[in-house]
Amino acid sequence: QCPGWEEGEILKMTGIEIRNWIAPGEDIISLSEKAVKTVLARNHLSLNDLSLIIVTSGTPGTITPSLATRIQHTLIPEGKHALFCPAFDINAACSGYLYALQSAWDFLNTRPDGIILVVTAEVLSPLVDLTDKSTSPIFGDAATATIVTGSESPLKGKARVYRPVTAAAGEDGTILTVPADTSRTIFMNGPKVYLEAVHSMITLLAKVCTENGIQVEDLDLIVPHQANQRIINAVKQRLKLPEGRVYSQIRNRGNTSSCTIPLCLESIMKESTTGLLGLTAFGGGFTSAGGLVEII
């Protein structure tokens, strides 16, 4: 599907071997609904238990209704009409998950008994120009759902979330754009994105560590946004970290924007890993974020 690429060249240049794209009949709502209903069932929750729904996506499909309220609609029992918890979208591109966790953390600081559903959902494949070597082999589709609870919630979590730090550097779309118009395609100036991403991810990771009185070297594992294996390698090299301290699963996932970090966390938790994880992300806009999660 990528004219001009030699066999093995994509893996060498990006670190990506396979990635998932939506199938015919699927869309961003069906992907999100499956992820949400899975995590709610796992935690024996329903829509009535939720205090807030935050959805982060760069491809919501419509501006109004928001993707958050459309996902909320899939959870409403048939024939029932009532007011439910607030629901809203965040668009922070690949940094969206950490932006959403920051909003969730702030909400729970005033509502410690709250239960928040954080959803990431990205359908990028229809916007990919298959003739563009800088984008066509990279992007995938995914949706994730995370339950975030406060200190007074009866639900006991698998990890402690520290308050993320977020930032933006203001970019007008001449370097990286995911268009709303489906007749257009994703544009990215790869070299410029590479330089900005490496610098911003290292800076925001250091900032969240400093705010919490620790050193980057104290982290048990670093989970960066899975943009490109070359970016992940550059972060590891500049931080002078040993092999195995920076997590990567991009080979089998591709770049799923705001979904990459929660997908990594799911895999890490399945491995029964414990310890303090540093999260860091960079996305279009240019947005960036750093976070800490302690797996318990």
Average pLDDT over residues 155-163: 92
DSSP element (H, E) containing 185: none
Q: What is the pLDDT of residue 286?
A: 96
Q: What is the pLDDT of residue 96?
A: 98
Contacts of 74 (CB under 8 A, 6+ apart): 29, 32, 33, 36, 37
Q: What is the pLDDT of residue 243?
A: 83
- What DSSP character marks residue 158? S
Cα 256 to Cα 123: distance, rounded to the nearest angstrom: 8
Q: What is the pLDDT of residue 90?
A: 97
Give me the chain's average pLDDT, please.
Answer: 94
Residue 6 has pLDDT above 90, yes or no: no
Determine if residue 85 is left, alpha or beta; phi over 0 gives left, psi from -120 to 50 gives alpha, anything else beta. Answer: beta
- What DSSP character marks residue 164? P
Residue 8 pLDDT grade (very low, low, confident, very high; cuts 50, 70, 90): confident
Q: What is the pLDDT of residue 54?
A: 98
- According to DSSP, the β-strands at 287-295 and 275-283 are antiparallel
Q: What is the pLDDT of residue 25?
A: 94
Q: Which of the residues are catalytic?
A: 94, 225, 255
Instruction: Count Cβ atoms within 10 A of the Cβ of residue 145 and give its class: 0-12 exposed, 13-18 middle, 19 or more buried.
Output: buried
Residue 134 has pLDDT above 90, yes or no: no
User: Which of 269, 272, 215, 224 lies closest to 245 in space, CA to CA?
Assistant: 224
Q: What is the pLDDT of residue 267?
A: 95
pLDDT in tens, 203-252: 999 999 999 999 999 999 999 999 999 999 999 999 998 888 999 999 99
Q: Where are the alpha helices (DSSP H) in the chain?
A: 9-14, 28-42, 67-75, 96-110, 190-211, 229-238, 260-270
Percent over 90 (pLDDT), the chain:
83
The structure tokens listed for 235 are 């972060």
Residue 82 has pLDDT above 90, yes or no: no
Q: What is the pLDDT of residue 206?
A: 97
Q: What is the pLDDT of residue 272?
A: 72
Residue 7 has pLDDT above 80, yes or no: no
pLDDT in tens, 87-122: 999 999 999 999 999 999 999 999 999 999 999 999
The structure tokens listed for 284 are 């279009």
